[in-house]
Amino acid sequence: MASVCPTAVSGFREKERLFYDSFDSSDIRWNFEKFLVDRDGKPYKRIYPDQLPETLQGDVARLVQTGARAETTYPEYGDYGGRMPSLHYV
């Protein structure tokens, strides 16, 4: 899923605390990073661990009420005619 959803933040907070050397902006930064998926199980949005649940209400309501599907332009996962949005660390 990390390869499909754009990262929620750029950079790493404390690189010296990581146990590996190759840092990629698409890496999952912490085990509490979340992904919101559409009704077909396709990643819709990537959510940083510090993101407050209240900020997701609109996205969750949209997915539930309208049956919205994820939009992406990654050919290896199918072309859905747009780029998937991401939440940014606040």
**How does residue 10 score in pLDDT terms, banded at 50, 70 and 90?**
low
- Running DSSP on this structure, what letter comes out for residue 75? G
**How does residue 74 score in pLDDT terms, banded at 50, 70 and 90?**
very low
Q: Could you give the CA distance from residue 70 to residue 78 in angstroms, rounded to a whole number?
A: 11
Give the global pTM: 0.51
Q: Could you give the CA distance from residue 50 to residue 70 in angstroms, rounded to a whole number?
A: 23
Q: Could you give the CA distance from residue 41 to residue 59 in angstroms, rounded to a whole number?
A: 15
Please say whether the beta carbons of 48 and 8 come within 8 A: yes
CA 87 distance to own-chain centroid: 7
pLDDT score of 9 more than 70: no
